[in-house]
Structure formats: C-alpha cells, structure tokens
A and B are shown apart, each in its own frame.
Chain A
C-alpha cells in the first residue's frame, strides 16, 4: 500500500513536476494532514507558556513553507503574469522566513535562567 502511494507520488511529481501534478492523491494527503495536525497539537501543547510569543514567530516562519509553491510558480515555464504573482508570493514568504527565524532567535537569546553575579 505505502509502496503504491510512494510510487504514485513519485510518478506524479517526476512526470510533470508539481505544477502539472496530474492526479491529486486525496486520501494520502488527508492522512498526512490528520496525522500532522495531531502531532502539532501534541508538540505545541507541551511548549512552555513562557515561550508563546517566540513559538508564534517560529511557526510563522515554518508556515512560510509556502515558499516551495512560490518558487515553482516564479521559476517555471509559465506566462509572465503568473510568474509575477509567484514572484510577489516568493518575496513575501522569504520575508517571513528571514524575519521569523531571526526575531525568534533574538527573543530566545534573552530568556536566561539566572543572571551572572556582578
């Protein structure tokens, strides 16, 4: 079963690239969605309340994974209008990636256990 799924995904991706993905495998995708939501809920509910602000900026950077779709639309052989849309999406996603990861790290650096004795 999993082999079939894998093979399907690979052929779909290889045959035409993500833009042309011939058949969307509805059920495997829904399984992935369900499982990752449960993992997300499980992992996030254990995050310390201290860190809720950095958590939000970190997940924000991670959800800028939309960059993957944006790259495909910016760089593929498509009419320029569609590539311009991709271009703006790519710039917006990169903005979130860069600012999200940097500011998260900046905030986390400030959380200190005990200050050094002066």
Chain B
C-alpha cells in the first residue's frame, strides 16, 4: 500500500516537472514553472522519506537536508554576473550526488547482495559513477575558469598527443569496466572500481583544460547534459522511473542547449571538445598597417543623440565590468530623446546560454527590446549607430569574409552593415578567442577605449548633461 502511494507521488511529480519546463516557454508563465518544479520536488522527497519499512535513520536525513539548505541558499544569492560559475558548480554537485550514490550501491551489492550484480545493473552503475565523476571535476574546472581562479589556466592548454592520451585513458576505462562487469565479485573488485572512479575524475580535468572561455557556453551545456544522464543511469540502477524521467528532461535540455550553442558558432561537438579553439592565429600579421580611430565620449554621445535607431550589442565585456546598469541608464536617456534602442543578443555572447538576457533583465530593460541575432540582422542597414559593448567575436566580419579565420561561417550580428559603428573595448588586444577583428578598422568605426562601465557612464553623463 505504502509503495502505491510512493509511486503515485512519483507519477504526479513527473507530470509537474514536465509542466515546469513547458511553462518556461514564455516569460509570463515561467515563474509558475518554478512553482510546479518546487511542488514536484517536495512531493518526491516526502514520498521517499516517508517509507517506514525502508527509512529508519531520520536524524541523518534531516541533518543532510539542513546542511544542503545551508549551502544552497547563499549560493542562490550570488550576483547575477556570477551565474555561470554557480551553474557550473551546481553541475558538479549533481555529478557528485550521482557518483556517491553509485559508489554506495556498488559497495552494498559487493558486500550484501552480489546476486544484484547482473551485467545490466553493473553497466548502468558504472555509467552513473563514470558520468558523475567526470562531471564533478569537469564542472569544477569550468567553474574555476569562469571565476578566474588564479591557479587554473584561463587559456586553453594543449600538448602534443593530447587526444591520443585521452583516447588511451578512455580505452583503459572501458577495459577496466568490462573486467568488472564480467566478474563483479572478483577479489580486486573494490580496487578496480576505485581505479575507474579515478580515471573518470582525471578525465573530467583533461576534457576541460583545452577549452577556452569563448567555448564555455557549449561546455556548460554539455556538462548539464552529463549531469542529467548520470541521474538517468541512477534510475536504471535503482529501478526508479522518476529518476529516469527527471534525468532525461535535464539531459535533453542540456543536449538542446549544446546544439543551439554549436550552431551559433558553426562548429561541431567534436570540434568544441577536441579542437582546442583559440590557439595562436596567423591573422595577427594582417592587422599591421591598419589603424584604429578613437572617439571621445562627447563625440560618441552626439552621434547617438542624432540617431533614430541604435542597436546595442552586449558581450562578455559588459558582464566583466558589470556595466548593465549603466547601459540601462543609456537606454533611458536615448529612449527619452525619441531614439529607438534595440539590443542584439547573440546566442554565445557571454559565458553561458542566455547570459546577456539575464543581465539586461536585471537592469530592468524590458525584454521586448532584446532581439535575437538572426532577427535583427535584416534591420542592421537601417541602424544609424551600432554600439558594441564588450562583444568581439560575435560581430567579427571575418566570419563572412575570411576563409582562413577559425570563426569563418559562424553566424554573426552584422554590425558592419550599420551606418556608424561605435565599439567599446577595454584594450587594443584581440578578444578571448585571440582573433583580430576587422570591424574596428572600418572607415565608419570609432573606438571608445576603456572599461565598459566607465565609458557607458561617460556617454550617459554627456547625454544627460547635454542641455545645449
């Protein structure tokens, strides 16, 4: 009877989780989606906890739940510019939970229930622990890179034979796994298991070190998918359909986001994971002999004021200098003067999917003003001024013109089609991917050098103080 109630609760939770994702299709209903998720999760937890024939150590559970709330609540309060790191960190926690439960199950079987170690169960369990393990270290590395932790190299790290080493490790893991599945209760089973876990952990690190910042949106999405799949594997191990459903929802969400990100960069999964993007480019030489034209804030403010359509292209630079609130002030000033202002959002701008949208929403810019790259491009020739705030690769015309460029073929925001280009840039160095950007050398381009927040602040001051 109690089992029926548990299954019924799981069934309802499944429906609520699907509805939660469904309601995310529109910002108007999205918060209802969160509520639905919360109710589903509460039901699932309660139904699992209240099984008197199984659960007896209530104190332990209560302590762990309280500990989780104690860590989780502060993590929910991080500044929104730190959301990519928080997300990566939570993938790590997800992977950790899956691999630890897997490990507990393995030792339980090994000592108390060897008859459970069927081929199917063992494969599912090793998938759970392996995926979980590499998600832990991979996500921690990604979080470290995003946070700018000093001892984690920011630039992609590559060495000769890197993919060969990774492949060798993978084969070793498969060999060990096969040996364990073949005879799970052999004398050294625990050691083989420990070896497999170590390889998974090492593999997570090795997968992330060759990946640069510009690829983070894709990598975060892939890790998202892995975290979901490890929950699915746990569902197979524990014979629990709720785990499989919820894990599959997370897995497919990560998969879709990865595909969106890859398409936005015109690259394949394989290329992102093993291509070591952002290595030295030969194109630096071609930049010689070209000069930037710098503009003052006064001049730029005048240009903006006289425009009828201004398109702002935000990028990671806006997040780094936390310029979104100043950008909102600029938006207010210009709108007040009758200028139409739109924001062109590239899918891979920033460090995670949707990063720019969240920052601009935080600054209370209405979401109608946020336009996707492919929707704004037809309007670009009508734009009087395009203002690039800390974006680089997503407006690089080399994607259309230079076949030798690593970003050739990537769909970009056609900033070069606008009548005038204003670009805010911290320094004269190339962007994160290390690619020279010809947009800055065009006749119609004026550069504003400096920190994005300071420069936009200057623009606002000039616009509001410009009583003349």
Tell me the A residues contacting B by CB distance below 8 Å.
9-10, 12-14, 17-21, 24-26, 28-29, 32-33, 36-37, 39-41, 43-79, 81-83, 85-115
Q: 12 A-B Cβ contacts within 8 A?
A: A17-B54, A29-B244, A44-B252, A50-B354, A60-B91, A66-B97, A71-B61, A73-B105, A78-B108, A91-B68, A101-B38, A106-B76
Asked if residues A21 and B93 are in contact (CB atoms below 8 Å), the reply is: no
Q: Which chain A residues border B250 with CB–CB below 8 Å? A: 40, 59-60, 62-63
Asked if residues B30 and A54 are in contact (CB atoms below 8 Å), the reply is: yes
Q: With A88-B96, A95-B93, A110-B364 in contact, is A75–B101 under 8 Å at CB?
A: no
Asked if residues A75 and B93 are in contact (CB atoms below 8 Å), the reply is: no
Given A55-B257, A99-B90, A112-B364, 4 further pairs, Cβ under 8 A: A64-B97, A86-B60, A96-B72, A111-B30
Q: Which chain B residues border A65 with CB–CB below 8 Å? A: 13, 17, 41, 44, 231, 242-243, 246-247
> How far apart are A56's CB and chain B's nearest CB, in angstroms?
6
Asked if residues A99 and B243 are in contact (CB atoms below 8 Å), the reply is: no
Which of B179-187, B220-228, B297-305 interfaces with chain A?
Answer: B220-228
Asked if residues B238 and A93 are in contact (CB atoms below 8 Å), the reply is: no
By secondary structure, the B interface counts as helix
Asked if residues B357 and A52 are in contact (CB atoms below 8 Å), the reply is: yes
Interface residues of B in 7-66 (CB under 8 A from A): 7, 13-14, 17-18, 20-22, 24-28, 30-31, 33-34, 37-38, 40-41, 44-45, 48-49, 51, 53-58, 60-61, 63-65
Asked if residues A51 and B354 are in contact (CB atoms below 8 Å), the reply is: yes
Interface residues of B in 376-403 (CB under 8 A from A): none
Chain A CB within 8 A of B291 CB: no
Chain A CB within 8 A of B161 CB: no
A40 and B358 alpha carbons, distance in the complex (Å): 23
Our pick among A9, A55, A72 for the contact of B238 (Cβ within 8 Å) is A72
Chain A CB within 8 A of B280 CB: no
Per-position 1/0 for B203-240, Cβ under 8 A of A? 00000000000000000110010011011101111111
Which of B113-121, B140-148, B162-170 interfaces with chain A?
Answer: B113-121
> How far apart are B56's CB and chain A's nearest CB, in angstroms?
6
Our pick among A66, A94, A103, A108 for the contact of B30 (Cβ within 8 Å) is A108
Q: Which residue of chain A has the shortest Cβ distance to B229 in the bound complex? A: A63
Q: Which chain B residues border A12 with CB–CB below 8 Å? A: 239
A101 and B234 alpha carbons, distance in the complex (Å): 22
Q: Which residue of chain A has the shortest Cβ distance to B16 in the bound complex? A: A62
Asked if residues A41 and B239 are in contact (CB atoms below 8 Å), the reply is: no
Asked if residues A14 and B3 are in contact (CB atoms below 8 Å), the reply is: yes
Chain A CB within 8 A of B149 CB: no
Tell me the B residues contacting A by CB distance below 8 Å.
2-4, 6-7, 13-14, 17-18, 20-22, 24-28, 30-31, 33-34, 37-38, 40-41, 44-45, 48-49, 51, 53-58, 60-61, 63-65, 67-69, 71-73, 75-78, 80, 83, 86-87, 90-91, 93-94, 96-98, 100-101, 103-105, 107-108, 111, 113, 118, 120-121, 124, 220-221, 224, 227-228, 230-232, 234-257, 260, 345, 347, 352-355, 357-358, 361-362, 364, 366-368, 370, 372
Q: Which chain A residues border B86 with CB–CB below 8 Å? A: 57, 99, 103
Q: Which chain A residues border B57 with CB–CB below 8 Å? A: 74-76, 83
A85 and B128 alpha carbons, distance in the complex (Å): 15
A17 and B239 alpha carbons, distance in the complex (Å): 10
Q: Which chain B residues border A17 with CB–CB below 8 Å? A: 51, 53-54
Q: Which chain A residues border B238 with CB–CB below 8 Å? A: 18-19, 21, 68-69, 72
Q: Which residue of chain A has the shortest Cβ distance to B58 in the bound complex? A: A75
Q: Which residue of chain B has the shortest Cβ distance to A101 in the bound complex? A: B38
Q: Which residue of chain A has the shortest Cβ distance to B235 in the bound complex? A: A29
Our pick among B72, B75, B87, B231 for the contact of A56 (Cβ within 8 Å) is B87
Asked if residues B54 and A90 are in contact (CB atoms below 8 Å), the reply is: no
A50 and B358 alpha carbons, distance in the complex (Å): 8
Q: With A48-B25, A87-B63, A102-B72 in contact, is A67–B45 under 8 Å at CB?
A: yes
A16 and B372 alpha carbons, distance in the complex (Å): 53
Q: Which chain A residues border B28 with CB–CB below 8 Å? A: 113
Asked if residues A94 and B67 are in contact (CB atoms below 8 Å), the reply is: yes
> How far apart are B30's CB and chain A's nearest CB, in angstroms?
5
- 5 nearest A-B residue pairs (beta carbon): A94-B68, A52-B354, A98-B72, A40-B252, A63-B250
Asked if residues B64 and A91 are in contact (CB atoms below 8 Å), the reply is: yes
Q: Which chain B residues border A83 with CB–CB below 8 Å? A: 57, 60, 104
Asked if residues A43 and B361 are in contact (CB atoms below 8 Å), the reply is: no
- The winner among A48, A66, A105 for most chain B CB atoms within 10 A is A66
Q: Which chain B residues border A68 with CB–CB below 8 Å? A: 44-45, 48, 238, 240, 242-243
Asked if residues B364 and A115 are in contact (CB atoms below 8 Å), the reply is: yes
Q: Which chain A residues border B4 with CB–CB below 8 Å? A: 10
Q: Which chain A residues border B252 with CB–CB below 8 Å? A: 36-37, 40-41, 44
A63 and B120 alpha carbons, distance in the complex (Å): 23
Asked if residues B93 and A96 are in contact (CB atoms below 8 Å), the reply is: yes
Q: Which residue of chain B has the shortest Cβ distance to A52 in the bound complex? A: B354
Q: Which chain B residues border A110 with CB–CB below 8 Å? A: 358, 361-362, 364
